[in-house]
Structure 1
């Protein structure tokens, strides 16, 4: 598995937009995949946020994750978040998300980030809890019950 930035593989945007639409489309209030593609173009960065890390096999994209500013407007605008972590269904359960997250955390450290947040619908924290993330609060955000977690890096 190779990991690259979206900036190095912008042709992956339509696939990522489709994944996000299929997985979380109910959250977007009818946002089209074209609108998602436009939003994802803001992640075509290497040295500044937001950015996106892709995991790919020989020829196919298998996972993505984002490093960005504020995901929830109840947190400071300059807070740093991991979001949009998605592993293609046939590749789940193989440790890909863990490797992807470790790489994103490494990138965050290199940028001087010391605290990362995320939100998950899994109230146990799942993989994130196993990786040392700490639950902060359970909230309903945009109509979805989520667990907010933090990790000092």
Structure 2
């Protein structure tokens, strides 16, 4: 498996937009594949936020994860967020999400970021709990119950 920035493989953008729309499109407006493809163009970065890291094997796209600013408007003081962690259905359980999260953490440290936040619909914290993320609080955000978590770097 190889990790790289979306900025180095712009051709992956339509697939990522489709994944995100299929997985989270129910949340609200602006989540159609076309809308997301346009929005994700802002993520074509290497050394500034927002950015996306991809997991690939040969020429197959396996997954993606984002490092971004201010994901939840109810937490204006929480600047940096892990988001959009997605692994293709047929490749789940192979450690890809763990590798993507680790790569995002490494990049955040490189950029001088001291802590990262995330929100997950898995109210137990799931994978993130096993990776050292700490629960902040459980909230209902856009009608969905989520657990907000933080990791100090």
TM-score bucket of the superposed structures, by smaller chain: over 0.9
Aligned partner of 1:125 in structure 2 is 125
2 CA distance for matches of 1:135 and 1:77?
Answer: 16
1:86-125 alignment, distance < 5 Å:
86-125=86-125
SS in 2 for 1:48: coil
Q: Deviation digits for residues 50-95 of structure 1, max 9, x if unmatched?
A: 0000000101100000000010011126610000000000000011
Change (3 A) 1:110 1:30: closer
Tell me, yes or no, if the aligned pair for 1:69 and 1:77 is still in contact at 8 Å: no
Normalised TM-score (structure 1): 0.97
Whole-angstrom CA distance in 2 between matches of 1:31 and 1:10: 19
The alignment partner of 2:118 has SS state of strand
What is the CA–CA distance in structure 2 between the aligned matches of 1:38 and 1:78, rounded to whole Å?
25
Aligned residues: 153
CA distance in 2, matches of 1:19, 1:9: 16
Displacement, 1:32? 2.1
Secondary structure (helix, strand or coil) at the match of 1:73 reads coil
Distance 1:31 1:108 in 2: 26
CA distance in 1, matches of 2:69, 2:3: 21
Task: Please give the alpha-carbon distance, in whole angstroms, between the structure 2 residues aligned to 1:3 and 1:51.
Answer: 13
- Aligned position for 2:84: 84
Structure 2 unaligned residues grouped into runs of 5+: none
Distance 1:73 1:91, change over 3 A: same
Cα 1:30/1:42, change in 2 over 3 Å: closer
Indicate the SS of the match to 1:4.
Answer: strand
Matching residue of 1:58 = 58
Structure 2 contact 70–81 (Cα < 8 Å) conserved: yes
Q: Cα deviations across residues 84-116 of structure 1 (Å, max 9, x unaligned)?
A: 000000000011100111011000000000110
Matches of 1:127 and 1:78, distance apart in 2: 21
CA distance in 2, matches of 1:133, 1:31: 27
Structure 1 residue 12 and structure 2 residue 12: aligned?
yes
